[in-house]
Chains A and B, each alone.
Chain A
Amino acid sequence: MECGIKMKSRNQGFRLREATSLFLLENAVWPLFIATYLILGIIQPVIFSPTFLTYILYLSIPLGFAIIAQTICLIGGVLDLSVGSIVGFSAMLAGVIIKEFKLIPPELSLILPVFFGLLCGMFNGYFIGFLKLNPFIVTLATMMAYQGLKIIVARGFTIPGGYLPEIYLFPGSNMVFSISSFLVAIVLVWIFLRYTKPGIHIYVVGGSQDVAHMMGIDPRKMLFIIFSLSGLFAGISGLYYTGFNRSVPITLGNEVLFPTFAAAIISGVSLKGGRGNILNVVGGTLLLGVIEAFLVTYAISPEARIVGYGFMVLIAVLFNQFRDNLRDSILRRV
């Protein structure tokens, strides 16, 4: 015991330095965000205004919920290719129902997209968890199915905001509510993932499904939960997109999938599964928001933005690998 204390004090300086670099590496998305913000701000000074920064955050919230969805999947060692399609389909189906059946109480209408998102996610989860199908194939199939369904239920048209009750548009259109509810959601998900049994079991399943099974954690049940949660947050994302746009565009959700990967990975969520901190996802969301805003101020075409997102995913993966290796080399020595 005494010996241990002596050793500790001798290593104090060393440990402090190691601990700081570890802390910085684990949360590297924040310095990366700040650096990007400063560089882009020098090129385009309008970015530096405080209202602009708040606006960037506000702009990123609908996508942020979809990023939460993808992050939960990646921590669980799986990916959800259908997340963007669920965003679009759940918002569209809810929008059509609200528009066609005016009898629905406006307060109740709020839960419709969330509920439809959950159903879509449960459908994925059933095939992947209980029927043991490959998540990549299942979500690839439902990505197309939900996308097609969105266009079918919309009959090819955008739903204008005039058909939707004000309270339905509120979460996504009110800047203060939008931002604060997102931050609350992030904290709740963080508590769930790190401090509850089902949450930590998502990390376990992401680490190894076989080990989970042998330790009495049912991977089938966990996969069902993971995809249900993913669908739920995609549905919430649909609700916020609707409010933000003040309409349900027929293209809603089309550009969601790639940014969710880019943001989650750059935030330190490992593609290997079982690793990642949801709090850092706020940093990833902001980082993407700044880049997006920068591109928009320069009026870069949507096509070019898609190319940009493609490369962003690649850069994020490279960055993540570099960070993980660095982190490992420090931890191995501790």
Chain B
Amino acid sequence: MNEKSTVNLEHYEHTKPPLLSLRNIHKYFGKVHALKGVDLDIYEGEVIGLIGDNGAGKSTLTKIIAGVIKKDAGEIYWMGSKVEIKNVNDARKLGIEVAFQEMTLIDSLDIGLNIFLGREITNQRIPWILDYNRMYQESSRILRQLGLRTSENPKREVRFLSGGEKQGIVVARAMLFHSKLVILDEPTRNLSVAGVRMVLDFIRSLKERKIACIFISHTLHHVYEVADRIVLLSLGEKILDVPKLQYTVEELERLIIERTLKHNVSV
């Protein structure tokens, strides 16, 4: 088992530097040491399945990459050069698109505005005036592409949508903005069987377009289905980082339980 996980052949095949490299990332929330020196490399077109217990630090890592919260220590490299991601717009400029675990929607605004939140389309001739028509059209188009019924009425206020429909809006948003790295924090939560299929297909389509993806989920079967690599976080530390292909999902499951138990006991 151990021998197997040390053979990280995949990494040596890459000729380009990783799209994103995290080195020794630390984060404290008061006394809570949420991330304890995490390293992570992700390459163009690669899908990483990021898994771990509740409170392991997955969302915290996501928010640091997204520029929502500041890291306390460590470095971030983007295509080989060091970057500081100070806010969400810095991350967006690099090409990082995030669907947060907390569905970031404004209940009192309509679907169209919610999809474009913070990146509203403005009129081509009068650049300070919002172009609602185009926002509604684009929203409908992307939702229809995802096979979602909400596409019929993009003017509907978000608070009348079901949990799954809201999740659909969040995924649609990630899909609409072309980027280099898409991070999906539990995008399949609340979703029906068809909804889950849609998200997994979306992740596969990212891969085809050479877009990297970090997929966070508690459902190992979903992660296993689309990920190239599995990264396991436990209590703020990365304790496993393996190419998926060398394992079956059952082996992986056993490995995770083994590692987590060992790690949690030793901490």
Chain A residues within CB distance 8 Å of chain B: 4, 191, 194-197, 200-201, 203-204, 206-208, 210-218, 270, 272, 274-275, 331-332, 334
Sort A-B residue pairs by CB-CB distance and give the 4 closest, nearest first. Answer: A216-B88, A207-B106, A215-B118, A216-B118
| Bound CA–CA A49/B156 (angstroms) | 43
Given contacts A197-B120, A203-B106, A207-B108, contact A331 B113 (CB under 8 A): no
CB pair A196–B106 under 8 Å, yes or no, is no
Question: Which of B63, B108, B117 is A215 in contact with, Cβ under 8 Å?
Answer: B117
For the complex, give the distance between the alpha carbons of A57 and B92 in Å.
Answer: 48
Judge whether A213 and B109 touch: CB under 8 Å.
Answer: no
Which chain A positions have C-beta within 8 A of B122?
A: 197
Contact of B128 among A196, A208, A215, A216 (CB under 8 A): A196
Question: What are 29 A-B contacts defined by CB distance under 8 Å?
Answer: A194-B130, A195-B130, A196-B128, A197-B128, A197-B130, A201-B118, A203-B108, A204-B118, A206-B108, A207-B107, A208-B106, A208-B107, A210-B102, A211-B102, A211-B104, A211-B105, A212-B118, A214-B100, A214-B102, A215-B118, A216-B88, A216-B92, A216-B118, A270-B108, A274-B107, A275-B108, A331-B157, A331-B160, A334-B156
* Residue of A with least CB distance to B106: A207
Roughly how many angstroms separate A72 CA and B122 CA in the complex, as a whole number?
22
Does residue B87 face the partner (Cβ distance < 8 Å to A)? yes
In B54-109, the 8 Å CB interface with A consists of 63, 66, 68, 87-89, 92, 100, 102, 104-109
Does B109 lie within 8 Å of A216, measured CB to CB? no
- Contact at B160–A217, with CB atoms within 8 Å? no
Decide: B160 and A204 in contact? CB cutoff 8 A.
Answer: no
Let me know if B88 and A214 touch, CB within 8 A. yes
Complex contact B106–A332 (CB within 8 A): no
Residues of B with C-beta under 8 A to A331: 157, 160
Interface of A is mostly: helix
Q: How far is the CA of A210 from the CA of B102 in the complex (A)?
A: 10
Count of inter-chain pairs, beta carbons less than 8 A: 71
Given contacts A214-B104, A215-B118, whether A203 and B109 have CB atoms under 8 Å apart is yes
B129, CB-defined interface residue at 8 Å: yes
Main SS of chain B's interface residues? loop
Chain B minimum-CB-distance residue to A272? B108
Instruction: Say whether A204 contacts B117, CB under 8 Å.
Output: yes
B102: chain A residues within 8 A (beta carbon): 210-211, 214
Per the bound structure, the CA–CA distance linking A323 and B118 in Å amounts to 30
Q: Are the CB atoms of A216 and B89 closer together than 8 Å?
A: yes
Verify if B152 is at the interface (C-beta below 8 Å from A).
yes
CB distance from B256 to the nearest CB of A (A): 29
Interface contact B120-A200, CB-CB below 8 Å? yes
Query: Contact between B152 and A214 (Cβ–Cβ < 8 Å)?
Result: no
Interchain CA distance A217-B67 in the complex, whole Å: 12
The interface centre, meaning the residue of A204, A214, A270, A331 with most chain B CB atoms within 10 A of its CB, is A214
Is B152 in contact with A215, judged by CB distance below 8 angstroms? Answer: no
Question: Apart from A200-B130, A204-B118, A214-B88, what 8 extra A-B contacts exist at CB < 8 Å?
Answer: A204-B117, A211-B104, A211-B106, A216-B88, A217-B117, A272-B108, A274-B107, A274-B109
Structural contact, B128 and A217, CB atoms closer than 8 A: no
Residues of chain B with a CB closer than 8 A to A208's CB: 106-107
Inter-chain contacts of B118 with A (CB < 8 A): 201, 204, 212, 215-217
Determine how close the nearest CB of chain A comes to the CB of B136; give it in whole angstroms: 14
| Distance A201 CA – B89 CA, assembled complex (angstroms) | 15
Chain B residues near A207 (CB-CB < 8 A) = 106-109
Closest A residue by C-beta to B131: A195
B residues near A217, Cβ cutoff 8 Å: 117-118
Per-residue contact bits, chain B 134-175, to A (CB 8 Å; 1 contact, 0 not): 000000000000000000100011001000000000000000
Q: Which A residues are CB-close (under 8 A) to B106?
A: 203-204, 207-208, 211, 274
CB nearest neighbor in B for A211: B104
Q: With a CB–CB cut-off of 8 A, which chain B residues contact A216?
A: 87-89, 92, 118-119
With a cutoff of 8 Å between Cβ atoms, the chain B residues found around residue A196 in the complex are 128-130
Among B66, B108, B130, B157, the one with the most A-chain Cβ atoms within 10 Å of its Cβ is B108
Complex formed: what's the CA distance from A275 to B210 in Å?
41
Q: Establish whether residues A274 and B68, one from each chain, have CB atoms under 8 Å apart when the complex forms.
A: no
**Chain B 25-45 residues near chain A, CB threshold 8 A:** none
| Bound Cα distance from A218 to B66, whole angstroms | 14
In the bound complex, how far is the Cα of B129 from the Cα of A138, in angstroms? 33
B157's nearest neighbour on chain A, judged by CB, is: A331
CB distance from B96 to the nearest CB of A (A): 11
**Nearest Cβ on chain A to B15's Cβ, whole angstroms:** 33
In whole angstroms, how far apart are the Cα atoms of A206 and B109 in the complex?
11
- Shortest CB-to-CB span from B91 to chain A, Å, is 8
A215–B152 CA distance with the chains assembled, in angstroms: 25
Min CB distance A13 to B, Å, is: 18
What is the chain B residue whose CB lies nearest that of A276? B108
Query: Is there contact, CB below 8 Å, between B128 and A332?
Result: no
Query: Bound complex: CA of A216 vs CA of B66, how far in Å?
Result: 10
